[in-house]
Structure formats: structure tokens, C-alpha cells
Amino acid sequence: MRLLTLCVCAWIAALAHAEDVCVRNVSVPGYPGLAKQARIAGTAVVKADLNADGDVTAARATGAHPILDDAAERNLQQWKFCPADSPSFSVRHVTVTYVYRLAQPEENLRSHPHVVIDLPDRIEISAQPMQAVPFD
């Protein structure tokens, strides 16, 4: 019983020290040109490690085509997060989902992608696919 009480107290202490991650600066992502040309869409889930200062020290994307995964990783590495509240949080983790979507023909998007940022963990990028140009 004493061991169980000790484990529960340790678990409660860990929860009390858990902190939410806030975002200070965001780099607005684009839609990779090669992905638009190849008509590639998908969802990249990026798991990143943050140091105590709020810098991204590592980012790993999965779930989408490698072109989209790479673009999402590179974008998240440019973000800046708030510093840790406590020095005991030497490494923190964050997961951000990037949704790359190609617009339907009836949608009127200009040449630049439409980006919706839902901080701290979701980005949606919509773009017109590149139109095929016939050769004469």
C-alpha cells in the first residue's frame, strides 16, 4: 500500500509539473511547387523536440509524401516557442499537424496558397494545382 501511495504521489507531481507549450513566432508555410505540379496532397504529422529556450532542436514528419513531410519539418524548425516555465523541463515535445490540400476547380484561390493556422498544433495549406500547359 505504501508503494502504491508513493507511485500515485509521483504521478500527481509529474502532472502538476506538465506545462502547455505556447508559440511565440510562426513561419507561415507554403505549398511545395513540386507537390503542386505532381498534384500531391496529404497530412504530415511533425513531432518536434524543444529545448528550454523554446527552440526546435529536432523535427520528424510522417504520414505524407516525402516532399510534404520535408516541407513541414523545415517549416516547424523555423518556429519559436515560449521558454520553459521551469528549468527542469530541459526537453519538451510538441506535435503539429500540417494538412496539404489541393483546391477543387470551382474554388477561387489565387496563385498563392491559402493558409489557416490553428495554434498550437494544426496548419492547413490549400493551393491550386498547377495547370498543364500544352506544347505546340
Contacts of 123 (CB under 8 A, 6+ apart): 29, 75, 96, 97, 98, 99, 115, 116, 117
Kindly tell me the burial class for residue 63, based on how many C-beta atoms sit within 10 Å of its own C-beta (0-12, 13-18, 19 or more).
middle
Rounded Cα distance between 124 and 35, Å, is 15
Whole-prediction pTM: 0.78
pLDDT tens digits for 80-113?
999 988 767 678 999 999 999 998 766 665 667 8
- Domain ranges in the chain are 20-127
Instruction: Say which DSSP state 111 is in.
Output: S
Contacts of 14 (CB under 8 A, 6+ apart): none
CATH architecture label of 20-127: 2-Layer Sandwich (3.30)
pLDDT tens digits for 1-57?
443 333 333 333 333 334 578 999 999 999 999 999 999 999 999 999 999 999 999
